A and B are shown apart, each in its own frame.
Chain A
Amino acid sequence: MKKRETYAIVGLAVLFGLAAVWGGFQLKERRVAEAQLVNKYNGAFYESLQRTKNVEALLSKGLASGSTDNMDNLFADLWYNANTAQSSLHQLPMSHQVVAQTSKFLTQVGDYAYAITKRDQGKKLTERDRQTMSELYKKSQDLNRELGGVQRQAAAGSFSWTEVRQGLNRNLSQGQLSGADDSFRRVDSQMQEVPVLIYDGPFSDHLERAKPRGVTGKNVTAEKARSNARDFIDFKGAEVSKVNNGRDADGRIPAYSFEFQTGDNTRDIITAHVTKKGGHMVFYTNPRSVSETRFSESKAKSLAQDFLESRGVKNMVPTYTIKSNNALTISFAYEQDDVIIYPDLIKVMVALDNGQILTYDALGFLMSHEERDLPQPKISIDEARKKLNPDLKVQSERMALIPTSGKHEVLTYEFKTEMRGDSFLVYINAQTGGEEQIFKLLETPNGTLVL
Chain B
Amino acid sequence: MDMRKPQYRLAITVAVILVVSCAGYLAWSQDNVMVRDAYTSENIADASPESSSDNTDLLARVIHGEAGDEPYLGKVAVGAVMLNRVNSASFPNSLSGVIFEPYAFESVSNGLIWQRTPSTESVRAAGEALNGLDPTYGALFFWNPSKPVSPWIWSRQIITEIGQHVFAI
Q: Residues of A at under 8 Å CB distance from B?
A: 1, 4-5, 8-9, 11-12, 15-16, 18-19, 22, 26, 83, 86-87, 90-97, 99-101, 103-104, 107-108, 111, 165, 168-169, 172-173, 175, 202-203, 246-253, 257, 269, 271, 273, 283, 285, 287, 289, 322-325, 327, 329, 345, 347, 349, 359, 361, 363-364, 444, 446, 449
Q: A285 near B52 (CB under 8 angstroms)?
A: no
List chain B positions with a Cβ less than 8 A from chain A.
Answer: 1, 4, 7-8, 11-12, 14-15, 18-19, 22, 29, 48, 50-53, 71-73, 76, 87-94, 97, 101-104, 120-121, 123-124, 127-128, 131-139, 148-152, 158-162, 169
B13 to chain A, nearest CB (A): 11
Residue in contact with B150 in the complex, picked from A18, A175, A283, CB distance below 8 Å? A175
Complex Cα gap A175–B152 (Å): 7
B19 touches A15 (CB 8 A): yes
CB distance from A89 to the nearest CB of B (A): 9
- Contact at B159–A251, with CB atoms within 8 Å? yes
B121: chain A residues within 8 A (beta carbon): 287, 289
The answer to whether B22 touches A325 (Cβ under 8 A) is: no
Closest Cβ–Cβ distance, residue A210 to chain B (whole Å): 9
* CB pair A325 B132 closer than 8 Å: no
Q: Is the CB of A1 within 8 A of B52?
A: no
Q: Please indicate the chain B residues that have their CB under 8 angstroms from the CB of A99 in the complex.
A: 90
Check A101 against B18 for contact (C-beta < 8 Å): no
Question: A111 CA to B135 CA in the complex, in Å?
Answer: 28
Q: B22 touching A8 by the CB < 8 A rule? A: no
A446 pairs with B52, CB closer than 8 A: yes
Other contacts beyond A8-B12, A83-B93: 16, CB < 8 A: A11-B11, A16-B18, A18-B22, A22-B22, A86-B92, A90-B97, A95-B152, A169-B103, A172-B150, A249-B135, A249-B136, A253-B137, A285-B72, A287-B71, A347-B132, A359-B133
Contact B161 A247 (CB under 8 A): yes
CB–CB A12/B50 < 8 A:
no
**Distance (Å) between the CB of B4 and the closest chain A CB?**
5
- The reply to whether B22 and A103 form a contact with Cβ atoms under 8 Å apart is no
Q: Is B150 a contact of A347 with CB atoms below 8 Å?
A: no
Point out the residue from B73, B87, B158 that lies within 8 Å of A285, measured CB to CB. B73
Q: Which residues of B contact A325 (CB under 8 A)?
A: 50, 120, 123-124, 127
Report the Cα distance A93→B124, complex, angstroms: 31
Question: Smallest Cβ distance from A431 to chain B, in angstroms?
Answer: 28
Q: Is the CB of A249 within 8 A of B160?
A: yes
Given contacts A4-B4, A250-B158, contact A15 B134 (CB under 8 A): no
- A-side interface mostly: mixed
Asked whether, in the complex, the Cβ of B137 is within 8 Å of the Cβ of A203, the reply is: no
Within 8 Å CB of A449, what residues of B?
Answer: 52-53
Contacts of B88 in A (CB 8 A): 203
Contact A251 B8 (CB under 8 A): no
Let me know if B136 and A19 touch, CB within 8 A. Answer: no
A250 touches B89 (CB 8 A): no
Q: List, in ascending order, chain A residues with CB within 8 A of B52's CB.
A: 444, 446, 449
Give the Cβ gap from B41 to chain A, nearest Cβ, in Å.
Answer: 18
**B73 and A173 contact, CB distance less than 8 A:** no
Known contacts A15-B19, A289-B120, A345-B132; decide if A249 and B159 are in contact (CB<8 Å).
yes
Closest CB-CB distance, B162 to chain A, in whole Å? 8
